[in-house]
Structure 1
Amino acid sequence: MDEATIDHVITEDLIVLEEPPANKTDAIEYLLDIAVEAGRVTDREAALEAALERERQSTTGVGKGIGIPHAKTDAVTEPTVAFTRSTEGIDFDSMDDEPAKLLFLLLVPAEGGEAHLGILSSLSRALMHDAVREDLRTADSRAAVKDIIVDTLT
């Protein structure tokens, strides 16, 4: 994925470093509200339902302290990634039973299947590296988080 694409998919206004709510559903809503405030979501309720429906199908807690709730929905006009992190971690029903400390919400337009899979697989691969996860946990600004994500995905 090229830098211009990633640069547009995750902007600094889609990154929040304050502590999210401590349960999975509330954390997903928190991430969604970041995307709503950034002007990326046209229908909050439809986007929330799509994300929660995807979560009911199978967990998006991918292990290693990572949660990537995601959905394809007509409630967004362009691929969007929102990010936050949790100091204590949130139970995301991860395969390794570890709480999710790095949280990414991925929303793509309903017809954006290829973009969805590309972003999801690139993000998942990048986050398997210990150094990337540690850098995201310790980054001291939204700009630093964005730089880490852009660097690892390009």
Structure 2
Amino acid sequence: MMALSDLLPDDGVNSDLAVSSRKQALQALSEIAAKYAPVKARDILERVLERERLGSTGVGHGVAIPHARIDGIDRVYGVFARLRNPVDFDAVDAKPVDLIFMLLAPESSNAEHLKALARVSRLLRREDMRERLRSAPDEDALIAVLGGEVDTDAA
């Protein structure tokens, strides 16, 4: 099974993203993702905001998993940011968000998109994982935490 770190490009992680709103966070992550996905940041942001309008991707415990299917990309990509200051994300538990894992999938990819989404969700639901992500000192440590996750399917 693929590790989450396989979805993340080398520079696809930010350990100290300074933003003051959900839209700014999504914009910053879209710009990071556009370095790797062959799509403009504006197009990524538009699709992700479209998805947010259906319902917040703030899943609780300070975590958001914004996602979208986008024409023009050939595989699932992820980018991750830990925010310097939590922002209101209209999350299900009404708590502000400081950990954001954005997923982008090819327009035609249903199963792959849903598998990646389920995997990220399962991982970030774990309190120990959220604590490790919040206490990681830098990007390299975040990548190590995200890459060393236990395969919960086999456990």
Whether TM-score is above 0.5 comes out as: yes
1:62 aligns with 2:59: yes
Cα 1:20/1:117, change in 2 over 3 Å: farther
Unaligned runs of 5+ in 1: none
| 1:13 aligned counterpart, secondary structure | coil
Contact 1:35–1:41 (Cα < 8 Å) also in 2? no
Q: Which residue of 1 aligns with 2:135?
A: 138
Give the number of equivalent residue pairs: 151
d(CA) in 2 for partners of 1:41 and 1:94? Answer: 30
| 1:89 aligned counterpart, secondary structure | strand
d(CA) in 2 for partners of 1:41 and 1:100? Answer: 28
1:149 aligns with 2:146: yes
Q: Which has the higher strand share?
A: 2
| 1:30 aligned counterpart, secondary structure | helix
Identity %: 31
TM-score by length of 2: 0.89
Select which of 79, 103, 107 maps to 2:104. Answer: 107
Q: 5 Å matches for 1:44-63?
A: 44-63=41-60
Moved over 6 A (4+): none
The CA RMSD measured in Å over matched residues stands at: 1.6
Q: Which residue of 1 aligns with 2:17?
A: 19
Unaligned runs of 5+ in 2: none
| 2:73 aligned counterpart, secondary structure | coil
| 2:50 aligned counterpart, secondary structure | helix
Structure 1 residue 49 displacement after superposition: 1.2
